[in-house]
């Protein structure tokens, strides 16, 4: 066979690119570890599952799978617009927020641009920046692992094209208040384009944090700040992670350009109808939120009894420390105990782990196993 050295033609900034590392499927780990029972509480999925309305809608459309889906996801966009009382021209959808983040990067970022990101923020932001060979400007967090929005605004220069803010943040579970957000938006300087930077607000865990009175209702600021892009998802509270449906809001001009470059048919027909049906099921959301708050307290109480340090979270997950042990080592030992959680080395938090709020049985098992592994 003729030798072909692909590295000679790959873009230089992609040569050292590391893929996003997702957790292994449960069935794969069962085979590898020889275990009969494994629980996965690592990816911030909703253990109560999706709306029955969503499942029915996806089943009902199965026989039409030989058709291409609506390339514009019109019915889903209309359902989102109706729920949030916005015009359809302000709605964007993608195959998960991941795709939307990458589309935004391809649309805006160039080699000459700086993108401001908080340290310990969702890793996909830096990946989108690196893909386009732009420069990430990383700003340290405040004490308690909160985004330092004042410092992030000060880090903006004439070369700053965009700022990423995850609110609440994954993996820390912390959030920024309405006042902090408003002060940040007002203090942003103009760049060399004569504009304020694009602010990408990732609100994947929005529903879980919305009970906090000082958590910002960013949709109210959409008209005031046309440089803002709000991202949300059906993967978390709506439990449609496997369907891959992200959505968001922005000014009609930004949405128009995103629509021009997004892949056609990026949402399959099952994703479209399942997401739209999910919006009709308020009971599923209410039940899921109540479950998370109840089980969050259960796990935190368990951490306190065991003397485990953790970060107060408004998401559906908790970041906790296993110092002086290495997070990776504890992660591996927990795997052997049949419990999948998430190590935080890729977030530069080597002594920390993240656990998703599971069912009561899963949470009880997790606490028993973490106690055993840590020798508490």
Taking only the tens place, the pLDDT of each residue in 135-147 is: 999 999 999 999 9
- pLDDT score recorded for residue 376: 84
- pLDDT score recorded for residue 357: 98
Angle between helices 327-336 and 26-33 (to 10 degrees): 80
Of the residues 278, 305, 340, which one is the last residue of a structural domain? 278
At residue 14 the predicted structure's pLDDT band, cuts being 50, 70 and 90, is confident
262 lies in a domain? Answer: yes
Question: Does the structure show a pLDDT above 80 at 2?
Answer: no
At residue 224 the predicted structure's pLDDT band, cuts being 50, 70 and 90, is very high
- 235-258 as b/e: b if 16+ CB within 10 A: bbbbbbbebbbbbbbbbeebbeeb
58 lies in a domain? Answer: no
Alpha carbon distances (Å) from 94 to 11, 36, 184, 355: 25, 36, 27, 26
- pLDDT score recorded for residue 17: 79
Provide the 3-class DSSP secondary structure of residue 298. Answer: helix
- pLDDT score recorded for residue 93: 98
- pLDDT score recorded for residue 5: 85
Mean pLDDT over 369-374 rounds to 97
- pLDDT score recorded for residue 362: 98
Question: Does the structure show a pLDDT above 90 at 176?
Answer: yes
Number of domains in the chain: 2
Same domain, 242 and 110: yes
The residue among 243 and 35 whose pLDDT is bigger is 243
Q: What percent of the chain has pLDDT over 90?
A: 90
Provide the 3-class DSSP secondary structure of residue 264. Answer: coil
Q: What angle do CA 218, 180, 348 make, to 5 degrees?
A: 95
Mean pLDDT over 272-277 rounds to 98
Question: Does the structure show a pLDDT above 80 at 315?
Answer: yes
At residue 12 the predicted structure's pLDDT band, cuts being 50, 70 and 90, is confident
Question: Does the structure show a pLDDT above 90 at 11?
Answer: no
Same domain, 122 and 231: yes
Alpha carbon distances (Å) from 180 to 139, 167, 195, 214: 16, 11, 21, 10
Residues 6 or more apart whose Cβ sits within 8 Å of residue 311: 144, 145, 172, 173, 174, 318, 319, 320
**Range scoring the smallest mean pLDDT among 10-24, 154-168, 187-201, 279-293:** 10-24
Of the residues 278, 300, 316, which one is the last residue of a structural domain? 278
Average pLDDT, the chain: 95
Taking only the tens place, the pLDDT of each residue in 285-304 is: 999 999 999 999 999 999 99
61 lies in a domain? Answer: no
At residue 87 the predicted structure's pLDDT band, cuts being 50, 70 and 90, is very high
Pairing of strands 160-166, 198-202: parallel
Instruction: Pick the closest to residue 69 from 277, 235, 271, 241 (CA basis).
Output: 271
Q: Residue 316 sits in a domain of what CATH number?
A: 3.90.1150.10
Question: Does the structure show a pLDDT above 80 at 20?
Answer: no
55 lies in a domain? Answer: no
Whole-model pTM: value is 0.95
- List the domain range (segments joined by +) for residue 82: 66-278
Q: Residue 70 sits in a domain of what CATH number?
A: 3.40.640.10
Mean pLDDT over 153-175 rounds to 98
Same domain, 308 and 224: no
- pLDDT score recorded for residue 83: 97
Q: Which helix (H) or strand (E) holds 126?
A: helix 124-131
- Asked if residue 324 has a cis previous peptide bond (ω within 30° of 0), the answer is yes
At residue 316 the predicted structure's pLDDT band, cuts being 50, 70 and 90, is very high
């Amino acid at each position: 066979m003729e030798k072909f050295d692909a590295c000679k033609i790959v873009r230089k900034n992609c040569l050292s690119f590391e893929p996003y590392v997702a957790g292994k499927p449960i069935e794969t780990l069962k085979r590898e570890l020889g275990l009969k029972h494994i629980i996965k509480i690592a990816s911030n999925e909703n253990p109560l599952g999706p709306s029955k309305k969503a499942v029915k809608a996806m089943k009902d459309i199965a026989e039409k799978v030989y058709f291409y889906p609506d390339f514009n996801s019109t019915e889903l966009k209309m359902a989102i617009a109706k729920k949030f009382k916005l015009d359809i021209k302000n709605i964007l959808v993608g195959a998960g927020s991941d795709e939307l983040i990458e589309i935004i990067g391809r649309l805006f970022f160039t080699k000459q641009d700086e993108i401001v990101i908080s340290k310990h923020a969702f890793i996909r932001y830096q990946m989108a920046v690196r893909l386009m060979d732009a420069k990430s400007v990383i700003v340290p967090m405040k004490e308690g692992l909160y985004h330092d929005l004042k410092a992030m605004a000060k880090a903006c220069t004439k070369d700053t094209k965009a700022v990423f803010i995850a609110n609440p943040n994954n993996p820390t579970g912390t959030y920024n208040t309405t006042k902090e957000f408003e002060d940040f938006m007002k203090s942003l300087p103009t760049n060399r384009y004569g504009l304020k930077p694009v602010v990408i607000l990732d609100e994947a865990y929005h529903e879980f944090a919305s009970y906090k009175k000082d958590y910002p209702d960013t949709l109210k600021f959409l008209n005031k700040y046309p440089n803002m892009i709000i991202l949300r998802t059906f993967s978390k509270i709506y439990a449609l992670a496997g369907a891959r449906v992200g959505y968001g809001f922005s000014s009609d001009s930004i949405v128009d350009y995103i629509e021009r470059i997004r892949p056609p048919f990026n949402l399959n027909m099952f994703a479209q109808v399942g997401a739209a049906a999910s919006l009709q099921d308020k009971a599923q959301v209410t039940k899921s939120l109540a479950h998370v708050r109840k089980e969050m307290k259960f796990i935190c109480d368990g951490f306190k009894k065991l003397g485990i340090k953790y970060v107060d979270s408004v998401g559906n997950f908790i970041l906790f420390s296993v110092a002086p042990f290495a997070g990776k080592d504890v992660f591996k030992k927990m795997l052997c105990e049949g419990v999948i959680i998430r190590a935080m080395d890729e977030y530069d938090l080597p002594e920390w782990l993240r656990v998703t709020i599971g069912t009561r049985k899963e949470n009880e098992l997790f606490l028993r196993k973490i106690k055993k592994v840590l020798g508490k």
